[in-house]
Structure formats: C-alpha cells, structure tokens
A and B are shown apart, each in its own frame.
Chain A
Amino acid sequence: MHRFANPAQFNRLADVILPWAIGAMVLLFGAGLYYAFWASPPDYQQGESVRVMYIHVPAAWLAMFTYMVTAAASFTALVWRHPLALLAGKAAAPAGAVFTALALLTGMLWGKPMWGTFWVWDGRLTSVLVLFFLYLGYMALWQAIDDEEKAGRAASILALVGVVNIPIIKFSVDWWSTLHQPASVIRLDGPTIDGSMLTPLLLMAGAYQAYFVVVFLWRMKLEINRRKLSVARQAMMHAPVGAE
C-alpha cells in the first residue's frame, strides 16, 4: 500500500489503468443504454417510466460507494498520515456529490408520475439529502481553511462522522414507513427483480462504476499537480531575496 504513497508511482499506475477504464466505460454505457431503451420491456406497473431506474439506482449506489471511498481515505489519512490518502478523499468527493444529486433528481422525476409527488420527507429521501450535504460540507471545509494540513484534517473528521448515515440510508426503507420501495437487488434471499430488468441495471451500474474510476484517477492526478504547485510556491516564498 505504501508503495503508492509515492506520487510518481501513483501517476504511472493511473496511466496504465486509465485507458482500460475509459474503454470499459464506453462499452458499458453503450451496452447499458441499448438494454435500457431497446432490449428491456416496460414494467407492468410503471410502464416506460421504469427506464429512469437504470440511471437512478446506479447513481444512488455510486453515491454511497463514493462516500465509503472518501471515508476510508479519510481514515487512512488521519491514522497513518498517508499523504495520497488525503488527496484521494478530496479527489472522490466531487463525483460523489454529482452522483447524489443525480440520485435525488432522477428519483424526483420518477416519483412525480409514480407516487404523485416529487418529494416526501421520509427516511430514505431525507438521509440521501443529508448525504448530499455531507459531500458539500466536506468540500467546503477543504475550501474554507487555508492551511491544507488543517483543512484536510477537518474535512476527514467530518467524512468519518458522516459514515453513520450510510447504514441509515441502506436500512431506512425497512425501519420507517416510506413511499420508497425496498431493496430488490441486494437482498439476503437474492434479487427479486426480473432478469430482463436486472441486465440493463447491472450494465449501467458497471458504466457508472467505470466512470467513477476514470474521473477519480484524473482528479488524483489533478490534486497531485496542485500539491506540487503549492510546494513550489512555498519554496519560492522562502527563497533568498534577489533569487528571481
């Protein structure tokens, strides 16, 4: 693990992974969209609106997955002072915020025709909204504190505290009465969703996952560059007068 603490080594690894991740992303989006629109039937209750599910559910899954990446990175950064781990959390968060916003928006656009309302303040919708604010708070802390060391520490602590929200999101549909349907894919007794709808759902989930890998690696490289620049700036400031 500590081998990848070296930014140069990380950049090399990222450059090996990136073309494959981009290829997988393009293929999975192509196949996923084909199944989502052409090779899957309308739902017997939801009709054609079920097609929103093929982007709603992957966005929601990735929103939670990305949060766990941010939290795990924050934990590693706080406990082992791993410099790249700190940047990993910072690199993942914007994608997580976008996934969460998309889960909320697509859910609302499906809820209006199916439930008759864009929004209810139930456990599931509220806890996902909290997740969105956790991402915004995490990113805001990075922005608000000038000292990067302190900023990273504060943001990491927030990310770790926010982890309690993840099981709340997952189990909210079992704990509280809600309009939101219960899990139909990740269940102890196996998926209850029909295979013809599981295929586009899993392909699109794979596409979102590959998209995350691509954007995450790009942002890691970006954060490494930013760190290099701030180190260079500091070296400049401490350079002897007349060195310019």
Chain B
Amino acid sequence: MAEFFDMGGYALYVWTAYGVSAAALVWLAVSTRKQLKESAEAVESARARRKGRV
C-alpha cells in the first residue's frame, strides 16, 4: 500500500496533479449546480410575482 502511494518516487507530482484536477472539476460542477438552483428559484419567484399582480 505504501508502495502504491509512493508512485515510484513521483508521489508529490502524481498526487498533486490528480488532486488539483479533481478539486477543479468538482468545484466547477458544484458551483454550476448551485447557480442553476438559485436561478431556477429566482425564475419561479418572478413568475409567482407576475401571477400575483394580474
């Protein structure tokens, strides 16, 4: 197991590359989801306001 994590002496480079990639991809996906959810709620409440006025 220790040998696996050592990556033949390249541990720092291999795990940093994978760590940064995973973090960036997850960040983009999660922030996109969050913005999508907020925008959908805003559209819903704008629609409700319009209906309420008529």
Q: A residues touching B (Cβ–Cβ < 8 Å)?
A: 37, 42, 47-49, 51-52, 55-56, 59, 94-95, 98, 101-102, 105-106, 109-110, 112-113, 211, 214-215, 218-219, 221-222, 225-226, 228-229, 232, 243-244
Residues of chain B at interface, number, CB under 8 A = 27
A143 CB to nearest B CB, Å: 14
In the complex, which of the residues A94, A109, A244 contacts B17, with contact meaning CB atoms closer than 8 Å? A109
CB within 8 Å for A47 and B10 given contacts A52-B17, A56-B17:
yes
Inter-chain contact B46/A49, CB cutoff 8 Å: no
Inter-chain contact A102/B13, CB cutoff 8 Å: no
Query: Sorted from nearest, which 9 A-B pairs have the closest CB atoms?
Result: A48-B8, A225-B39, A48-B7, A49-B10, A106-B17, A109-B17, A47-B8, A222-B36, A109-B13
Alpha-carbon gap, A98 to B29, bound state (A): 11
In the complex, which of the residues A48, A55, A215 contacts B32, with contact meaning CB atoms closer than 8 Å? A215
* B51 close to chain A: CB less than 8 A: no
A5 CB to nearest B CB, Å: 19
Q: Which chain B residues numbered 1 to 54 have a C-beta less than 8 Å away from chain A?
A: 4, 7-10, 13-14, 16-18, 20-21, 24-25, 28-29, 32-33, 35-36, 39-40, 42-43, 46, 50, 53
Closest residue of chain A to B10 (Cβ to Cβ) is A49
Q: List 27 A-B contacts (CB under 8 A).
A: A37-B4, A47-B10, A48-B14, A49-B8, A49-B14, A51-B7, A51-B14, A52-B13, A52-B17, A52-B18, A55-B17, A56-B17, A94-B32, A95-B28, A102-B21, A105-B17, A109-B13, A109-B14, A211-B25, A218-B29, A218-B36, A219-B36, A225-B36, A225-B39, A225-B40, A229-B42, A232-B50
